[in-house]
Structure 1
Amino acid sequence: MTDATKREAIVEAARSMNALGLNRGTAGNISARDGDAMLITPSGMPYATMTPAMIARMPLAGDGESEGPLAPSSEWRMHRDILRARADVQAVVHTHSIYATTLAALRREIPPVHYMIGIFRTSRIRCTDYAPFGTQALSDLAVEGLGRAHGVLLGNHGMIALGEGLDRAMWRAVELEALAQLYYLARIAGEPVLISEEEIENEITRFENYGLKSVK
């Protein structure tokens, strides 16, 4: 993807994030790797009026400098550090979706209640401690909480979903909110029966080749 198409994809994903109910207002943020830099949504900009030209570009080796007419998201440290730490990741989606944030406020991880947890390459979606938004402390917690996984809950804050591309990061964001809702409702109804760690590891392997395929 070119710089221009990545910018367009970020704007589309940001609007979709709110339309899908994963986020509200100007909260949340999205980034995509662009060579040795990242493209990231600007701070405080309503997604309905955001344009591709407003997306900020920041070097991954930098410490806050950016290109563009608007300041980058206040969570730029978190995006930068995840992309630095994870060469397998091309995009980062951060939202304040209701059920994921509810579990984050309860400091509850999501255990293997459904096989779709396998798309996150982990058997449990961890929940971090709390740190103020936009701080290096929060970024450090996010990177540690993710480990090898493609999703994490941020204590009393929200969630992060990662992807090999922006479409996959958005897909995981939707599924993470669905898992959070499922677990929350299951806990209300009773004590959910968990899938074994061994079976989830099998599902992780099977999901490596999951996705659209041509008929041969």
Structure 2
Amino acid sequence: MPDLRLDLIATARVMQPAGLNRGTAGNVSVRSGAGFYITPTGMPYATLQADDIPLMALDGSHQGSRKPSSEWRFHRDLYASRPEVGAVLHAHSPFAVSLACLRYDIPAFHYMIARFGGDSIRCADYAIFGSPELSTAALAAMHERKACLLANHGLLVAGRDLAEAMALAIELEELCEQYWRACQLGQPVILSADEMTAVLAKFAGYGQQ
């Protein structure tokens, strides 16, 4: 049976070459049974071994020799409240951070915004990292969405598995860059509510289901 810890480490190591992270910033988790595995706090991803990955329960306790990421709360709260979520990824990618520091929502300037479940990517209210308040703000911003920005912080995505979480994070950072670039030239034209409703309907049957 595949070891989810090794899959988690492989995903974490892809974050930097994918342009999502540098150093030990960010964190990744994957659901496992009644709990979840999460990257440990403050450890370079290149050095991680399976035994370094803590297993957390939904009550906030953990097993293993390493301390879990300081951001474990929004991971735990997403798993507890959304049974469809199988993996969560948080990153400090440059364009997402730039927009998050301006506390911008990303409107429907491009139809691919619909990939995340609605007609916008919301920016969650600011709260200090690792706090229950940040988790509360993040879950509110992610209501009926697969992603949000975290004010003055970074991006957060939730996928059905590690592969989807990584794909969503890369797509979100790309959209952040495209929106940032479009704003340098003027005010982007925003797709209407009717246009985005049509896109969302089309996305329901898009790709390999």
TM-score, scaled relative to structure 1: 0.93
Secondary structure, counterpart of 2:63 in structure 1? coil
AA aligned to 2:29 is S
**2:15 matched to which residue of 1?**
17
Q: Write out aligned runs for 1:108-187 (5 A).
A: 108-187=104-183
Q: Is the 8 A contact 1:85 1:143 kept in 2?
A: no
Alpha-carbon distance, 1:6 to partner: 1.6
TM-score, scaled relative to structure 2: 0.96
Aligned-partner Cα distance in 1 for 2:170–2:19? 9
Let me know the Cα RMSD of the aligned residues: 1.3
Aligned-partner Cα distance in 1 for 2:206–2:48? 33
Asked whether 1:86 is paired with 2:82, we answer: yes
Aligned-partner Cα distance in 2 for 1:77–1:147? 16
Aligned-partner Cα distance in 2 for 1:121–1:189? 27
Q: Is the 8 A contact 1:96 1:157 kept in 2?
A: yes
Alpha-carbon distance, 1:211 to partner: 3.7
AA aligned to 2:23 is G
Q: After the TM superposition, list the runs of 4 or more consecutive aligned residues in structure 1 that deviate by more than 6 angstroms.
A: none
Identify if the C-alpha distance between structure 1 residues 112 and 39 changes in structure 2 by more than 3 Å, giving closer, same or farther.
same
Q: Which segments of 5 or more consecutive residues in structure 2 lack a partner in the other structure?
A: none
**1:50 matched to which residue of 2?**
48
Q: Deviations over 1:149-203 (max 9, x none)?
A: 0010000000101101111111000010011111111111111011122222222
Q: Write out aligned runs for 1:25-104 (5 A).
A: 25-60=23-58, 62-63=59-60, 65-104=61-100
Aligned-partner Cα distance in 2 for 1:209–1:195? 21
Q: Which segments of 5 or more consecutive residues in structure 1 lack a partner in the other structure?
A: none
The count of residues paired between Structure 1 and Structure 2 equals: 209
AA aligned to 1:103 is L
